[in-house]
């Protein structure tokens, strides 16, 4: 376990947990650990109780010979890196059947079949595939208002990225490209300016500045990305979108 890996993971898991969408009701423990920069036992235990995120880390770790909280493991899951390429799709498929809570097994089978087995255990893929395999909405055939709601959900729930334009007391103004759903296809939209929350007490946000690229989750700036991470999140997100669009097309 590395301190940096736990903190990186916690930064990205924090906001949906705060909103009540996943994980245990332990947001105080996670926030305190982030602000102190010290991942205590309580924070680690809380992160181990996330129903999907933690099993995904275990999947990546066991296929790459890493520890679960080795920095590269949560980095692979949330942002994307070469570790994702080392998880065999059959293992990901088996994992989705046997270890992942909340997944309908028939939908999982149909999804992997529609993708010809080409899938990576990347958070954005998980988000997009959950929408795409939703039976009632019939993937490509949803109506306009539903498309708008689903597009917003996908964009909030995936990890996105933005370039800081201005730094305020509790908010950053960033320029980012949303994922949009239109005509039953996902795509990265045109760049937009938006305001997101951040916590100056969490390193390195005390020194965040214009031009930094930050990762975003549910309208919250999670971390400042380095150059390689900024390239990777765009690369893996585009890959996820292309795979999901292929699956959606196969259902038409």
Partner 1 sequence: MCIARVGRVAEVSRGRARVEFFDGRSLGDVDVGMVQAKLGAYVEVFGNLALSKLSVSEARARKRAWDEVSRKGGQG
What does the binding site for partner 1 look like in residue numbers (CB under 8 A)? 12-13, 16, 19-22, 25, 48-55, 58, 98-105, 123, 126-127, 130-131, 134-137, 145-146, 149-150, 153, 156-157
Min separation Cβ 126 and partner 1, Å = 7
CB of 165 to partner 1, least distance (A): 27
Which CB sits closer to partner 1, 27 or 173? 27
Structure tokens at 106: 């028939």
Do 214 and 208 touch, CB atoms closer than 8 A? yes
Least Å distance between CB 215 and partner 1? 13
DSSP string, 22-59: SS-S-HHHHHHHHHHT---HHHHHHHTT-TTHHHHHHH
- Nearest CB to partner 1, comparing residues 76 and 164: 76
CB-wise, 115 or 208, nearer to partner 1? 115
Q: Given the complex with partner 1, which of 74 and 208 has the nearer CB atom?
A: 74
For partner 1, the closer of residues 12 and 208 by Cβ is: 12
For residue 43, the minimal CB distance to partner 1 (Å) is 14
Q: How far is the CB of 134 from partner 1 (least distance, A)?
A: 4
Please answer whether residues 154 and 131 qualify as being in contact, where contact means their C-beta atoms are separated by less than 8 angstroms.
yes
Query: Residue 161's closest CA among 116, 86, 216?
Result: 216
Nearest residue to 49 (alpha-carbon basis) of 23, 82, 28, 87: 23
Residue 176, strand partner residues: 162, 192
Give pairs for 238-241: CB < 8 Å, separation 24+.
Answer: 238/188, 239/120, 239/122, 240/120, 240/122, 240/124, 240/125, 240/128, 241/128, 241/179, 241/186, 241/187, 241/188
Q: Residue 19 or 201: which CB sits closer to partner 1? A: 19
CA distance 10 to 44: 9
List the one residue out of 162, 172, 167, 157 whose CA is nearest residue 122.
157
For the CB of residue 249, give the shortest distance to partner 1 in the complex, in Å.
Answer: 20
């Amino acid at each position: 376990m590395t301190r940096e890996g736990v903190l990186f993971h916690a930064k990205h898991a924090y906001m949906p947990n705060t909103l009540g969408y996943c994980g245990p009701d332990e947001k105080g423990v996670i926030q305190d650990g982030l602000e102190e920069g010290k991942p205590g036992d309580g924070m680690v235990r809380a992160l181990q109780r996330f129903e999907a995120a933690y099993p995904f880390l275990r999947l990546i770790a066991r296929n790459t010979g890493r520890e679960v909280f080795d920095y590269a493991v949560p980095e692979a899951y949330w942002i994307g890196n070469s570790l994702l390429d080392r998880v065999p799709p059959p293992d990901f498929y088996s994992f989705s059947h046997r270890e992942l809570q909340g997944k309908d097994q028939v939908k999982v089978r149909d999804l992997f079949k529609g993708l010809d087995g080409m899938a990576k255990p990347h958070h954005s893929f998980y988000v997009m595939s959950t929408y795409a395999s939703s039976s009632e909405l019939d993937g490509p055939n949803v109506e306009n208002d539903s498309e708008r709601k689903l597009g917003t959900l996908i964009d909030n729930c995936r990890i996105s990225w933005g370039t800081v334009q201005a730094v305020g007391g509790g908010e950053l103004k960033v320029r980012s490209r949303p994922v949009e759903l239109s005509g039953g296809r996902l795509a990265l939209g045109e760049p937009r300016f938006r305001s997101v929350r951040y916590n100056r007490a969490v390193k390195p946000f005390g020194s965040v500045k214009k031009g930094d690229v930050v990762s975003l989750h549910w309208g919250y700036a999670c971390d400042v990305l380095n150059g390689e991470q900024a390239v990777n999140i765009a690369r893996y997100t585009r890959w996820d979108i292309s795979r999901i669009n292929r699956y959606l097309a196969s259902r038409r």
